[in-house]
Chain A
Amino acid sequence: MSTTATYDEIREAAQARLDKNMKIKTLIIDRLGLEVSPEVVSDNQPLFGRGLEMDSLDSLEIVVMVNNEFGVSVNDDDIEAFGSINALVDFVEAHED
């Protein structure tokens, strides 16, 4: 495998991850009716509290969205998935078929 090919592969994987983060941000914003643009939501911004200011009702909305869009179940034990956009995407990628 050439160095260039590896570099391209890494770039491709990084872009795919950015795309997925953006998709999740857009889905969350649409689902919760947030008045914010996905571009201004950072990947490590907390979803609760001073981040996106989500509450427990919103977190269930995200559980439903993740289940519908990715076929991934989120349970009470998976609270780390709500840490940030990155944490949620990590969780989805780890549990997707």
Chain B
Amino acid sequence: MTAMLSKPDTKTGPATFSYSSDDIKKMLPHRWPMLMIDRAYDVIPGESGKGVKSVSVNEPFFAGHYPDHSIMPGVMIVESMAQLVAVIYVAEMLESPVEQPAGDVSEQVGYLGAIKSVKFNKLVVPGDQLVLSAQLGPRLGGLRSVTVKATVDGQTAASGSLIVTTGRAG
């Protein structure tokens, strides 16, 4: 099992954890240009958390979306939110007091199963900082429902719900 990446934040209530981009690279299999979350915080493993994605003009998708009008594709905002979900999910394995099977935890990250009623309320452009939040909901079999949101300067940029697989089976 990978050693605990971060110490719990000292707050009242359930233990929360923060993860740097270096920590996140040990938790997710994604790499450039598809690593879409820079930092995670207030993570309650297996339950909820927040994250940050700073949007740079150097993002490769701006080259084509669009050449004279740089806006972040909505699906990439969804990807950022989904990667926060994966961090929350992997955190449950990393921070569990129960000994986990040896191996790379990033290999446990599953897939998107459904994108449900996601609304995009605001254009996201270079220089924006997406503040991501995710709350994991009910699970059934290898599927889990999650509600997600992304804000820029306190204004909602995207929100909705996703279904993710809790592993890589099928």
Contacts and interface: CB of A to CB of B under 8 A. Distances in A.
A36 interface: no
Interface stretch (A15-23, A40-48, A60-68, A83-91): A60-68
B106 interface: no
A57 B113 CA distance: 7
B138 A56 contact: no
B126 interface: no
Interface string B126-139: 00000000000111
Given A57-B113, A60-B163, A76 B138 contact: no
Interface string A74-97: 111000000000000000000000
B143 A57 contact: yes
Taking residues whose C-beta sits less than 8 angstroms from the other chain, chain A's interface range is 10 to 19
Contact of A64 (B113, B141, B145): B145
Contact of A76 (B116, B140, B163): B140
Nearest to A66: B138
Given A57-B113, A57-B114, A64 B137 contact: yes
Given A57-B143, A60-B163, A64-B145, A73 B114 contact: no
A26 interface: no
The CB with the most chain A CB atoms within 10 A, among B113, B114, B140, B145, is that of: B140
A59 B141 CA distance: 10
A67 B163 contact: no
A74 B143 CA distance: 13
Interface string B111-123: 0011010000000
Contacts of A74: 138, 140
Given A57-B163, A60-B163, A76 B113 contact: no
* Leading 7 A-B pairs by shortest Cβ distance: A60-B143, A60-B140, A63-B138, A64-B145, A63-B140, A57-B114, A67-B138
Interface of B: 113-114, 116, 137-141, 143-145, 163
Given A57-B163, A59-B141, A60-B139, 19 more contacts: A56-B141, A57-B113, A57-B143, A60-B140, A60-B141, A60-B143, A60-B144, A60-B163, A61-B116, A61-B163, A63-B138, A63-B145, A64-B145, A67-B137, A67-B138, A73-B138, A74-B138, A75-B140, A76-B141
